[in-house]
A and B are shown apart, each in its own frame.
Chain A
């Protein structure tokens, strides 16, 4: 007998104490000005943002809104003009080398729209790359790669080359590679941009599954409202700032709400 019997109802009403959310990455007053041309461009204007452990955040914005620049700041690929960054609550200056590379290696996992797998290496070796760079032993690498292959369902294809795989399969490999070193944050830039609808669905479901199972913090940059519905919350970027936020209710109304908000900023009215 399933459903809500009185005993179950009563038990479900027992309040569960809320755990304090652990802060993974925080930026305060993040500003980026590109000074190359005659007209300086304010790509980011005083952006404040906190990422908590285990959450999946979608960042939506039109091109030129600053979302890609934000990604570069978060991953220390580029340095901000001003602003502070806190890693697990501690202020860090991660934008100068060699700290930047070390930071990326230890804390960031990337997934790109174009997969960016190494064409000459097979699936296993592509996935192993981050661990080789970290200097793990062959035995350790073997165990972790095996686990990663299972997680993304690519065990059967482990000796294949990227050219022998479909887009969706390549992205699975890319995800495995991004997660194998257990990064603090997975950054995905339009991860389903090059995929058809069904494959997009598969990949998004995989990301959600991994997010929940591994409590893996994820940031997905997208211009696709449907993709954003898979996240816990959505941040809307426009003209270098976060102009709106939406927390997904995980029901049918999410897509409509997100589309509305996106259209609003796309029209440039915010």
Chain B
């Protein structure tokens, strides 16, 4: 908590040390939206810059992690929207786009199914099942009511299941859906 206060006073080292614990998870979260390494690195760096600039506005140092997560999600989604717009406009740049990430065989279906989800379902599921956030924590990050969060999780799992269509990961999606009711 002291480090947050120090960071708010402009102490870069304190700010960077705060990121230490969160780094990998943040990067992977961003990756789930942008889907390739160079974009993920770029967005990650943007997130750091934005976060350092805005940290003075953080009223409750306790909420640093969730606050940071919100920035990462928003930056990622904005970045992808802009990128996809630009991609549509300039087909010449298609060959410059990095090959899509290929996870290992067993996880390919889940990865692709995840990419099919609209952002609000995807975000809810990642926060719930990757970051182990509680529903209230998720509500805080995405700034929506708890009921809405629950709906997003439920519908997200359902959609995931539909895309997985009987592949083994389907089992988990089924049981997770039941647990969360």
The digit string for A4-16, where 1 denotes a CB below 8 A from any CB of B, is 0111111111111
- Indicate the size class of the contact surface on chain B: 20 to 34
Whether the Cβ atoms of B132 and A6 lie closer than 8 Å is: no
Whether the Cβ atoms of A13 and B17 lie closer than 8 Å is: no
Whether the Cβ atoms of B28 and A215 lie closer than 8 Å is: no
Whether the Cβ atoms of B28 and A12 lie closer than 8 Å is: yes
Whether the Cβ atoms of B37 and A5 lie closer than 8 Å is: no
Whether the Cβ atoms of A1 and B103 lie closer than 8 Å is: no
CB-contacts of B48-86 with A (<8 A): none
User: What chain A residues lie within 8 Å of B17 (beta carbons)?
Assistant: 213-215
User: What chain A residues lie within 8 Å of B169 (beta carbons)?
Assistant: 6
Q: Which of B16, B24, B101, B110 contacts A6 (CB 8 A)?
A: B110
User: What chain B residues lie within 8 Å of A213 (beta carbons)?
Assistant: 3, 17, 20
Q: Which of A7, A150, A151, A212 contacts B130 (CB 8 A)?
A: A7
**Most chain A Cβ neighbours within 10 Å, of B20, B29, B179:** B20
**Nearest CB on B from A212, distance (A):** 7
CB-contacts of A1-31 with B (<8 A): 1-2, 5-17
**Most chain B Cβ neighbours within 10 Å, of A5, A11, A13, A215:** A11
User: What chain A residues lie within 8 Å of B130 (beta carbons)?
Assistant: 7-8, 11
How many angstroms from the CA of A16 to the CA of B111 in the assembled complex? Answer: 17
How many angstroms from the CA of A2 to the CA of B176 in the assembled complex? Answer: 11
Q: Which of B29, B107, B132, B179 contacts A10 (CB 8 A)?
A: B107
Q: Which of B3, B31, B110 contacts A7 (CB 8 A)?
A: B110
Whether the Cβ atoms of B129 and A5 lie closer than 8 Å is: yes
Number of interface residues of A (CB under 8 A): 23
User: What chain A residues lie within 8 Å of B28 (beta carbons)?
Assistant: 11-12, 14, 16
CB-CB nearest in chain A for B9: A143
Q: Which of B31, B172, B176 contacts A14 (CB 8 A)?
A: B31
Q: Which of A2, A10, A151, A212 contacts B20 (CB 8 A)?
A: A212
Known: A1-B176, A6-B110, A10-B107. 12 other contacts (CB 8 A): A1-B179, A5-B176, A7-B110, A7-B126, A7-B172, A9-B107, A10-B103, A13-B103, A14-B28, A15-B37, A16-B27, A215-B16
Some 30 contacts from A to B, beta carbons below 8 A apart, are A1-B129, A1-B132, A1-B176, A1-B179, A2-B132, A5-B172, A6-B107, A6-B169, A7-B114, A7-B126, A8-B130, A9-B107, A10-B103, A10-B111, A11-B28, A11-B32, A13-B103, A13-B104, A14-B27, A14-B32, A14-B103, A16-B24, A17-B41, A150-B2, A212-B20, A213-B3, A213-B20, A215-B13, A215-B17, A215-B20
